Amino acid sequence: MKQIKIYISVTVVLLLAVASKAQQSGGGEANPNLFTHQKALKAFQDNRFGLFIHWGPVTLRGEEISWSRGVQIPKKEYDNLYKEFNPVLFNASDWVKTARDAGMKYIVLTTRHHDGFSLWDSQYSDYDMANTPYGKGIVGALADECKKQGIDFGIYYSICDWHHEDYPVEYPDQKYQFHTEKNITDPEVKMQMDRYTLFMKNQLKELIENYDPSLIWFDGEWEWAWTHEMGMDLYSYLRGLKDDLLINNRVDKGRQGMEGTTKSHIFAGDFATPEQRVGSFDDKNAWETCMTIAQQWAWKANDKVKSKKECIHTLLQTVGGDGNLLFNVGPMADGRIEKRQVERLKAMGDWLAINGEAVYGTRGGPYQPTSYMVSTKKNNKIYLHLLSHPGKDLTLPFPKSIKINKAYFLDGNAQVKVNQDKASFDINLPDSLPDEIASVIVLELNKPAADIDVIERLRY
Ligand code: JFZ
């Protein structure tokens, strides 16, 4: 009997190990024992909402960061913009306050985008903030201010660098066309990439040691010069420097296009990165949608800002699908974030000030998101986020083994009447909801909501 018990518990432990491995790939196939740091991942997921910041000398022209180099702006002109970059109105505390007022819990800054310009004073590059008229880096000030105001700080770092002499792809121009013929087994390219990888590691070590980021957000991994082996190697190098770092899946080659999910767990990375779209419901693999508040990543004059409704619904569709939202602004060349964008973010923060309980620290589900309703859960509660009025009666499938003790609107606490039947419940809704953009109904249960399986869109 005792032996059987041991046998069973060993099997359970093994199954758990296999399950957790399947859940988070961490270091990829080259590092089978390097799992995602679970505590860091939980803190990241609990945050749910962060500010992405795309910024650099290109904002002087209002064109897209990196992609306009050699297209809208001649290359030589682009590469010299930093000599005019003097953001005298940059104020780290204002940026962090903007994020906090929006209800955001973390910030990710483009410390170096594909154009290769470093926003800090880097000892490994002269193409950096220290050599602008402004004369000093801005990453440290932002990192310090984040710490002060209780916001997690992350750094975006592009793997491709279309400016660096050792990086063998220069885009967009003809050299790029030429180099697509080549590959990294070419001895000359191999040597360049070895030097370039060392450069990246040096810069990343510098960033980690000086600014202590909680996450690194890679990008630009899709070009041929970057390989699966290099990705896994970089991942394990960074975890070696700081074990509780979180690293997105763009460190390696496993990303499926703009959908952003990881193809297979042979690839390194701690979370998936859908871009400019809300990711599909997934409560097994961590993910974070990145999206612009307007059209462009970097600042552009009169860029069309998303409506308040679009902004809030995007956040709720994301958390309802069990993901994070990294919402992007591009500050102006003088260092300020545009007033229209600050105001829009504040509107999100105002909604969260009332309804934040239904967002922070929750997980998506149990209901699969629909256009009019998403759901989140935490402890003994389910939160139904109504994105439009679903009609007089809201009827939803529900496990009969769980009892709904009480239901009420999070905004104002008005109780709503619930009739629970065998495998469903019915809520009688008032003619108008407390908030026309999104109203949250709390269901208090007699059991933890985490135990409820995902409820497919069967009857609603
Ligand atoms: C990438 C960046 O290029 C972009 O500037 C921004 O930083 C975003 C978060 O990440 O997005 C991409 C990457 C590749 C393509 C388009 C956008 N592409 O190949 O068309």
- CATH architecture, domain defined by 4-17+363-459: Sandwich (2.60)
Q: Is the pLDDT of residue 307 over 80?
A: yes
Q: Is the pLDDT of residue 311 over 70?
A: yes
Which ligand 1 atom is the nearest neighbour of the CA of 113?
7
> What spacing in Å lies between the alpha carbon of 221 and ligand 1's midpoint?
10
> What spacing in Å lies between the alpha carbon of 108 and ligand 1's midpoint?
15
Model confidence at 286, pLDDT cuts 50, 70, 90, reads very high
pLDDT of residue 10: 42
Domain ranges of the chain: 4-17+363-459, 26-358
Question: Once rounded to an integer, what is the mean pLDDT over residues 312-337?
Answer: 98
Nearest residue by C-alpha to atom 19 in ligand 1: 222
Q: Which mutation among 297, 299, 329 tests ligand 1's pocket best, with the greatest number of atoms within 8 A of CB?
A: 297
Pick the residue with more confidence: 336 or 176? 336
Q: Is the pLDDT of residue 93 over 70?
A: yes
* 275 CB near ligand 1 (under 6 Å): yes
* 223 CB near ligand 1 (under 6 Å): no
Model confidence at 409, pLDDT cuts 50, 70, 90, reads very high
* 327 CB near ligand 1 (under 6 Å): no
Model confidence at 181, pLDDT cuts 50, 70, 90, reads low
Question: Once rounded to an integer, what is the mean pLDDT over residues 291-301?
Answer: 98
Nearest residue by C-alpha to atom 10 in ligand 1: 219
In CATH terms, the fold of domain 26-358 is TIM Barrel (3.20.20)
Residues 6+ apart with CB under 8 A from 185: none
* 157 CB near ligand 1 (under 6 Å): no
H-run or E-run covering 378 = strand 373-378
Residue in 134, 107, 106, 104 with CA at minimum distance from that of residue 119: 134
Question: Once rounded to an integer, what is the mean pLDDT over residues 208-231?
Answer: 96
The amino acid present at 188, given as its one-letter code, is E
pLDDT of residue 11: 43
Q: What percent of the chain has pLDDT over 90?
A: 83
Average pLDDT, the chain: 92
Q: Is the pLDDT of residue 106 over 80?
A: yes
Strands (E), 113-255: 152-158, 215-219, 246-247
> What spacing in Å lies between the alpha carbon of 255 and ligand 1's midpoint?
13
pLDDT of residue 190: 92
Q: Which mutation among 275, 288, 300 tests ligand 1's pocket best, with the greatest number of atoms within 8 A of CB?
A: 275
| Cα torsion through 141, 142, 145, 146, rounded to 10 | -150
Phi then psi for residue 116, to 5 deg, are 85, 0
What CA–CA distance (Å, rounded) separates 441 from 425?
13
* 290 CB near ligand 1 (under 6 Å): yes
Residue in 264, 383, 257, 295 with CA at minimum distance from that of residue 21: 264
Q: Is the pLDDT of residue 105 over 50?
A: yes
Convert the pLDDT of each residue in 17-47 to its tens digit.
444 444 467 999 999 999 999 999 999 999 9
What CA–CA distances, in Å, run from 275 to 137, 162, 327?
28, 21, 10
pLDDT of residue 17: 43
pLDDT of residue 240: 98
Nearest residue by C-alpha to atom 6 in ligand 1: 297
Q: Global pTM?
A: 0.93
* 90 CB near ligand 1 (under 6 Å): no
pLDDT of residue 1: 40
* Cβ atoms of 239 and 27 closer than 8 Å: yes
Residue in 368, 370, 348 with CA at minimum distance from that of residue 359: 348
Nearest residue by C-alpha to atom 4 in ligand 1: 297
Cβ-in-10-Å burial (0-12, 13-18, 19+) of 174 comes to exposed
